[in-house]
């Protein structure tokens, strides 16, 4: 083997090594946002169904999650993981979340990914359900407002998630699940049992559509 | 061989372990013999100065015997393997003894649902007992399973029973088991069913009749009981 | 240039001697020369081999250290894991074993070993490679679209592969099927060439029983491929329709049948094993006879056995589907045919072992690879009995035992067979000898870790560990074997590191290796009668053949070899 060739080979090997070391060093330097970086890495799996920016994908039964409150995402992930939410033969979307939440190994990972999702922003979801009367729905919403807030901003003390910014199809299926007992019939999840009682007050499909139409107007 | 790793707890597990052991010893013998001859030839016939290779065409009957005789011996061993393999297969998959109880096993992305008939011995009634990702059964009782899937292929695999069967959406496949020992073991999904496949595990609890009766009694107020079974959710 | 004239034996060859200047594009990119197309297939295949190896590295690291960031990849999510194992399988079979073993060796060897100047359809040959390259680009693109690469297994069972709502990779799954379909078309075009050339363009005097075994094996492989792939191409088109147009061939909700796909897939999928096995077995025959200085034991029996295996290979496909919900009575039939096919394969192994008897064996690097092929493939063969016997398969189906078994068949075929052929014909391809010391270091550095990877996986399979699961530590029965997984991963890292020796050896041998003469191994076959590397048109004057290819150590001759083209 000639010398010049060996020298070239050595140079290439050295530069690759230097670059690798520099890369590791750079990654370490940014330790302040470590949790956020970990969250972003973990969010890779969520993207599969919830979309690149957490905007949600109806065909995959995945609601918009970008910008939800961190406490709410954390609590729901923990419930999925414990099997108190989602573990019902007819909760197709929930069953998909059950193994995904198992993948998050510990509390730190759950809060890292929740923190990252809470920090995402995305355009408000486009309405997909027609025939709802926002005006009629406003009256029915008074009941919801007690926990979820007048502007649908949610209330941590009441364990109530924000409603504004949620996809209308997701609100619809969720209400239906509560009414059918697919959600809200597990004694280990009292929040959902309470919600089930509330959902029963929306007696027919039109009433559900109306209140959802109102929620879609909340800013 | 397999029972060294994992207990054999069904009436037919022994048959399957036997065919595996039989193949292991029969095939293992031929394998070691071939490899032995092979390596011996490599060592024995290394090139030596002044010793030319022999000229053997392998076309004469006397020479061909060296491959035809082992060939018939292999065929002879195959017959034993075939007999016991098909016997074990028949016992597990083709034979269907009368059941003492029946369980519905439903696979979906990504969980197992098990439905028991409940006290009345009939499905689709209010006293059905539904379990998610847990299956409680009684030891020494002959169960039929009615296996189905709601979305993609899954495979119902219970290693301690040596039982495995794919679930196909649109079909109900019937099979059976009879457990011979108690304990808590794993049920796995053995057919790739999407990104949650790895976490689609369940547990099987094989219980004594007393334990099982106690468990049944606890289930009377189970949360799913309120459901009408045929209800469907539109998503 | 005579590229557009199909060359039969009787065609005029006036213009073959002159090596006129060709531009870079003519010579390397749009060449119709069979040797250049062989190199294109070879290097595309090897590059894809590196991609497949990287995938193996990534998911083995994830299995050994679940949840940790994998250096060079990052966090492996369940979706990543499924896409990695799926595409590792797809690439290693369709983009490594097929192009290297079948296309590259067939293109390089057929005209040289049967004594003609090029394939009979050189332009179809070029088109074949171009379609293959296109399929490669489509497959690589499928990893980078939204949703990521397809993760439904290399067998792509519907409904999972048929509906994006189940596999969650709307673009990845479609691109994957299209890539596989294009790849099949490329090899159909190649296969036409391989069969036609061998049958029509042989040198004068070369009778059917004078054709070297490796060429026969390639022809049989091409026939098997062409007969079996039709149903799967139809199936692939139906699957793309299911994915994109909403048809329901495999969708049970609308009356389709998912099991139909399994039949179409395995009707191709099982003969496919023999499609790649045959060339590897042929390469082994060439190398063993040369380095044992022996006539191949029972040439005609080998040939008849290979044809028999080919026919039988169409009757065993459903042993992949014993527990898939087919009628259980059908399993009995397929158990019988499956155990029957063990007999011709065993016979071929016996023939090779018998060939060694009475030889004068030199353990050169290619010979080591060829012997390793036999030793390792035997393990793959015997473990197949466990899976072919229906009763035992109930337990072993879809466990690591299956995985270890088919790696013990495909690894000897695709990796060991390739290295055997590559090191053996390297002098002919590049005109230089390879470095023997480096070659042997690479050999032992590959073969020992290979066994250390997969023997532990047999044990895991016997312990009931199922395939395609990204983390076993969550299963109480399986978590305790974590050390075994770490061990297998470490062996893989060692094996990958030793591949650097191979690339280094190629580079330095190519640049400054010892010059190889026309016939460095004292071999009989025709490719060794021309210059190394052969020029455009292969021979100044095409050779005439007088005898079979394996006349080594013939009594009454001074030299221990007797080339096919030497009159006496």
**Residue C251: pLDDT above 70?**
yes
**Which H or E run includes B119?**
none
pLDDT score of B234 more than 60: no
Strands B142-149 and B101-108: parallel
The answer to whether A5 faces chain C, any CB pair under 8 Å, is yes
Closest CA to A38 of A99, A101, A98, A117: A117
pLDDT tens across A89-123, in order?
888 888 889 888 988 888 888 989 998 998 888 77
**Mean pLDDT, chain C, as a whole number?**
90
Is the minimum CB–CB distance between B196 and chain C shorter than 8 Å?
Answer: yes
pLDDT reading at C176 higher than 50: yes
Residue in this structure with the two tokens 């699961």, named with its chain if needed: C469
Question: Phi and psi for A22 in degrees, rounded to 5?
Answer: -60, -40
Residue of B nearest to A90 (CA): B233
Please list, in sequence order, all residues whose beta carbon lies within 8 angstroms of the beta carbon of residue C223, skipping any fewer than 6 positions away: C191, C195, C310
Other CB atoms within a 10 A radius of the CB of residue B167 amount to: 26
Nearest to B86 among C332, C361, C396 (CB): C332
Range from C18-27, C145-154, C397-406 that averages highest in pLDDT: C397-406
C-beta atoms of B193 and C160 within 8 A: yes
Contact A180, A208 (CB under 8 A): no
How far is CA C354 from its chain centroid? 25
Provide the chain C residues 51-70 that lie in CB contact (below 8 A) with chain A.
Answer: 67, 69
Do residues B111 and A87 lie in contact, with contact meaning Cβ atoms separated by under 8 Å? yes
> What's the angle, vertex CA C516, arms to CA C511 and CA C522, rounded to 5?
155
Closest CA to C561 of C339, C263, C360: C360
- Residue C7 pLDDT > 50, yes or no? no
Examine the pLDDT at A3 and tell me if it is beyond 70: no
Across residues C213-233, what is the average pLDDT?
Answer: 93
Say what the pLDDT of residue A194 is.
84
**Cβ of residue C469 closer than 8 Å to a chain A Cβ:** no
Would you tell me which residues 106-145 of chain B have a C-beta closer than 8 angstroms to some C-beta of chain A? 106, 108-111, 113, 130, 132-133
Q: Give me the pLDDT at residue C18, please.
A: 45
Q: Does A103 touch chain B (CB under 8 A)?
A: yes
- Give yes or no for a contact between A196 and A104, defined as CB atoms under 8 angstroms apart: no
| pLDDT tens digits, one per residue of C324-339 | 988 999 999 999 999 9
**pLDDT-derived band at C6, boundaries 50, 70, 90:** very low
Q: What pLDDT, on the 0 to 100 scale, is given for residue A185?
A: 80
> What pLDDT is stored for residue A219 in this prediction?
74
Quote the pLDDT of residue A107. Answer: 86
Chain-chain contact of B58 with C297 (C-beta, under 8 angstroms): yes
Q: Report the C-alpha gap between C208 and C205 in whole angstroms.
A: 10
CB C52 within 8 A of CB C96: yes
Enumerate residues 6+ apart whose C-beta is below 8 A from B166: B153, B154, B155, B156, B173, B190, B191, C323, C324, C325
Percent of chain A at pLDDT > 70 equals 85
User: Is residue C194 predicted with pLDDT exceeding 60?
Assistant: yes
Question: Helix (H, G, I), strand (E, B), or coil: what is residue C136?
Answer: helix
- Shortest distance between the Cα of A87 and any Cα of chain B, in A, equals 7
**Is the pLDDT reported for residue A62 higher than 70?**
yes
pLDDT mean over B2-16? 92
**Interchain proximity B235–A98, CB inside 8 Å:** no
Enclosing H/E stretch for B165: strand B163-167
Whether this prediction's pTM lies above 0.75 is answered by yes
CB proximity A61 to B under 8 Å = yes
Residues of B in Cβ contact (< 8 Å) with A187? 223
Residue given tokens 């990914």 in the structure block: A113
Q: Chain A contact for C511, CB < 8 A?
A: yes
For residue C561, the cross-strand partners are: C552
Mean pLDDT value across residues C236-265: 91
What confidence score (pLDDT) does residue B228 get? 39
- A48 and C79: CB-CB below 8 Å? yes
Distance of alpha carbon C159 from alpha carbon C506, whole angstroms? 45
Q: Which residue of A has its CA nearest to C77?
A: A45
Please give the average per-residue pLDDT across C394-416, as a whole number: 94
User: For residue C266, what pLDDT is reported?
Assistant: 94
Q: What is the DSSP string of C271-315?
A: HHHHHHHHHHHHHHHHHHHHHHT-PPTTHHHHHHHHHHHHHHGGG
Indicate the range of A215-219, B28-32, C326-330, C545-549 predicted with least confidence.
Answer: A215-219
The average pLDDT across C57-86 equals 92
CB contact under 8 A, C78 and A49: no
Across the interface, do B233 and A181 touch by the CB < 8 Å criterion?
A: no
Give residues 156 to 185 of C whose Cβ lies within 8 Å of A.
164-165, 168-169
Task: Tell me the pLDDT band of A5, cut-offs 50, 70 and 90.
Answer: low
CB B5, CB C460: distance < 8 Å: no
How much is the pLDDT for B233? 36
> What's the mean pLDDT when you consider all of chain B?
88
* C331/B88 touch (CB, cutoff 8 Å), yes or no: no
Least confident of A26-35, A44-53, A192-201, C188-197: A26-35
pLDDT exceeds cutoff 80 at C462? yes
Q: Inform me whether the C-beta atom of residue B153 falls under 8 Å from chain C C-beta atoms.
A: yes
What is the chain A residue with the closest CA to C148? A48
Exposed, middle or buried: residue C137 (CB in 10 Å: 0-12, 13-18, 19+)? exposed
pLDDT over 70 (residue C426): yes
- Mean pLDDT value across residues C562-568: 88
Range with top average pLDDT, A136-150, A179-193, C510-524: C510-524
Contacts of B among chains (3+ CB pairs under 8 A): A, C
Predicted local confidence at residue B224, as pLDDT:
47
pLDDT of A55 reads 86
- Half-sphere exposure (CA, 13 Å, Cβ side) for C66? 17
Name which of C69, C77, C511 is nearest A5 (Cβ-Cβ): C511
Which among B16, B20, B54 has CB closest to C358? B54
Taking residues C513-518, what's their average pLDDT? 90
C483-506, pLDDT tens digit by residue?
999 999 999 999 999 999 999 999
Whole-angstrom Cα distance, residue C3 to residue C27? Answer: 12
Confidence at residue A4, expressed as pLDDT on a 0 to 100 scale: 53
- CB-CB under 8 Å, C157 with B153: yes
Residue A17: pLDDT band with limits 50, 70, 90: low
Using CA atoms, how far apart are residues C340 and C329, in angstroms rounded to an integer? Answer: 18
pLDDT band at C410 (very low <50, low <70, confident <90, very high): very high
Q: Which helix (DSSP H) or strand (DSSP E) does residue A137 occupy?
A: helix A134-148
For residue B130, which residues of chain A lie inside 8 Å, CB to CB? 89
Strands B101-108 and B202-207: unpaired
Beta strands B134-138; B142-149: pairing state: unpaired
pLDDT average, residue stretch C459-463: 93
Which residues touch B206 (CB under 8 Å, ≥6 apart)? B9, B137, B138, B139, B179, B181, B182, B183, B184, B185
């Amino acid at each position: 083997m000639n010398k010049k060739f060996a020298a070239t080979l050595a140079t290439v090997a050295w530069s690759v090594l230097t670059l690798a070391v520099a890369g590791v060093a750079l990654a370490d330097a940014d330790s302040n946002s470590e949790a956020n970086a970990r969250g972003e890495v973990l969010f890779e799996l969520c993207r599969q169904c919830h979309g690149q920016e957490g905007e949600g994908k109806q065909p995959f039964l995945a609601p918009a999650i970008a910008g939800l409150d961190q406490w709410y995402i954390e609590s729901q992930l923990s419930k999925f993981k414990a099997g108190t939410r989602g573990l019902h033969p007819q909760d197709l979307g929930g069953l998909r979340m059950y193994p995904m939440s198992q993948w998050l190994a510990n509390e730190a990972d759950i809060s890292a990914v929740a923190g990252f999702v809470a920090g995402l922003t995305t355009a408000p979801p486009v309405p997909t359900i027609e025939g709802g009367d926002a005006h009629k729905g406003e009256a029915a919403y008074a009941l919801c407002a007690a926990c979820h807030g007048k502007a649908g901003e949610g209330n941590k003390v009441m364990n109530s998630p924000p409603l504004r910014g949620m996809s209308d199809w997701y609100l619809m299926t969720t209400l239906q699940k509560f009414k059918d007992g697919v959600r809200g019939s597990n004694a280990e999840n009292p929040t959902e049992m309470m919600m089930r009682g509330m959902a029963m007050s929306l007696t027919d499909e039109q009433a559900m559509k109306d209140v959802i139409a109102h929620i879609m107007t909340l800013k | 061989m397999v029972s060294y790793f994992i207990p054999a707890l069904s009436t037919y597990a022994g048959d399957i372990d036997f065919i595996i052991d039989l193949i292991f010893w029969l095939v293992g013998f031929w394998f070691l013999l071939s490899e032995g001859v092979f390596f011996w030839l490599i060592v024995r016939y290394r090139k030596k100065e002044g010793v030319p290779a022999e000229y053997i065409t392998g076309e004469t009957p006397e020479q061909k015997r060296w491959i035809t005789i082992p060939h018939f011996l292999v065929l002879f061993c195959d017959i034993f393997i075939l007999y016991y393999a098909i016997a074990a297969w028949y016992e597990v998959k083709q034979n269907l003894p009368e059941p003492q109880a029946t369980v519905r096993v439903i696979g979906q992305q990504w969980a197992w649902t098990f439905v028991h008939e409940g006290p009345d011995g009939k499905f689709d009634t209010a006293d059905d007992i539904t379990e998610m990702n847990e299956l409680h059964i009684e030891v020494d009782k002959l169960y039929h399973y009615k296996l189905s899937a709601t979305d993609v292929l899954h495979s119902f695999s219970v290693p301690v029973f040596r039982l495995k069967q794919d679930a196909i959406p649109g079909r109900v496949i019937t099979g059976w088991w009879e457990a011979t020992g108690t304990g808590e073991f794993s049920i796995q999904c053995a057919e790739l069913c999407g990104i949650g496949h790895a976490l689609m595990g369940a547990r099987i609890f094989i219980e004594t009749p007393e334990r099982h009766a106690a468990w049944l009694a606890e289930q009377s107020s189970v949360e799913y009981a309120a459901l009408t079974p045929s209800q469907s959710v539109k998503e | 240039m005579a590229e557009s004239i199909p060359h039969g034996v009787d065609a005029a060859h006036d213009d073959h001697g002159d090596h006129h200047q060709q531009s870079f594009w003519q010579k390397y990119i749009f060449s119709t020369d069979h040797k250049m197309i062989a190199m294109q297939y070879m290097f595309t295949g090897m590059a894809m081999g590196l991609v497949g190896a990287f995938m193996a590295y990534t998911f083995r690291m994830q299995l050994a250290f679940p949840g940790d960031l994998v250096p060079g990849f990052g966090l492996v999510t369940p979706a990543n894991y499924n896409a990695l194992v799926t595409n590792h399988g797809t690439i290693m079979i369709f983009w490594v074993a097929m192009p290297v073993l079948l296309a590259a060796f067939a293109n390089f060897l057929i005209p040289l070993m049967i004594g003609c100047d090029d394939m009979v359809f050189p332009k179809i040959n070029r088109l074949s490679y171009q379609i293959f390259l296109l399929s490669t680009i489509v497959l690589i693109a499928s990893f980078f679209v939204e949703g990521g690469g397809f993760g439904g297994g290399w067998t792509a069972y519907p409904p999972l592969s048929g509906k994006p709502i189940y596999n969650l990779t709307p673009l990845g799954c479609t691109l994957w099927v299209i890539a596989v379909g294009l790849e099949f078309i490329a090899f159909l075009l190649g296969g036409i060439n391989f069969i036609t050339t061998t049958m029509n363009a042989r040198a004068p005097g070369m009778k059917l029983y004078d054709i070297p075994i490796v060429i026969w094996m390639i022809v049989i492989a091409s026939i098997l491929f062409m007969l079996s792939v039709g149903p799967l191409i139809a199936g692939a088109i139906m699957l793309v329709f299911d994915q994109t147009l909403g048809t329901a061939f495999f969708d049970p909700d609308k009356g389709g049948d998912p099991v139909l796909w399994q039949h179409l897939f395995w009707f191709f999928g099982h003969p496919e094993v023999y499609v790649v096995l045959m060339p590897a077995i042929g390469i082994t025959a060439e190398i063993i006879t040369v380095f044992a200085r022996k006539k191949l034991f029972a040439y005609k029996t080998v040939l008849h056995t290979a044809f028999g295996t080919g026919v039988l290979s169409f009757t065993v496909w459903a042993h992949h589907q014993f527990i898939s919900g087919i009628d259980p009575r059908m399993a009995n039939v397929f158990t019988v045919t499956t155990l029957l096919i063990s007999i011709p394969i065993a016979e071929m192994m016996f023939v090779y072992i018998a060939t060694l008897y009475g030889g004068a064996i030199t353990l050169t690097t290619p010979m080591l690879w060829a012997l390793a092929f036999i030793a390792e493939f035997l393990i793959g063969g015997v473990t197949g009995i466990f899976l072919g016997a229906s009763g035992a398969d109930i337990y072993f189906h879809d466990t690591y035992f299956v995985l270890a078994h088919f790696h013990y068949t495909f690894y000897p075929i695709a990796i060991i067979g390739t290295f055997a052929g590559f090191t053996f014909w390297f002098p002919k391809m590049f005109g230089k000898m390879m470095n023997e010391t480096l070659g042997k270091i690479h050999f032992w550095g590959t073969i020992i870790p290979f066994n250390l990877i997969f023997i532990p996986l047999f044990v895991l399979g016997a312990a009931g560990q199922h395939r395609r699961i990204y983390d076993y530590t969550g299963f109480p029965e399986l978590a305790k074997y974590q050390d075994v997984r770490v061990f297998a991963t470490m062996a893989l890292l060692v094996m990958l590191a030793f591949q650097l020796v191979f690339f280094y050896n190629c580079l330095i041998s190519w640049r400054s290796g010892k010059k190889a003469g026309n016939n460095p191994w004292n071999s009989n076959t025709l490719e060794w009668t021309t210059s190394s590397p052969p020029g455009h048109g292969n021979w100044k004057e095409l050779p005439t053949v007088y005898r079979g290819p394996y006349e080594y150590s013939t009594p009454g001759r001074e030299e221990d070899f007797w080339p096919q083209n030497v009159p006496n």
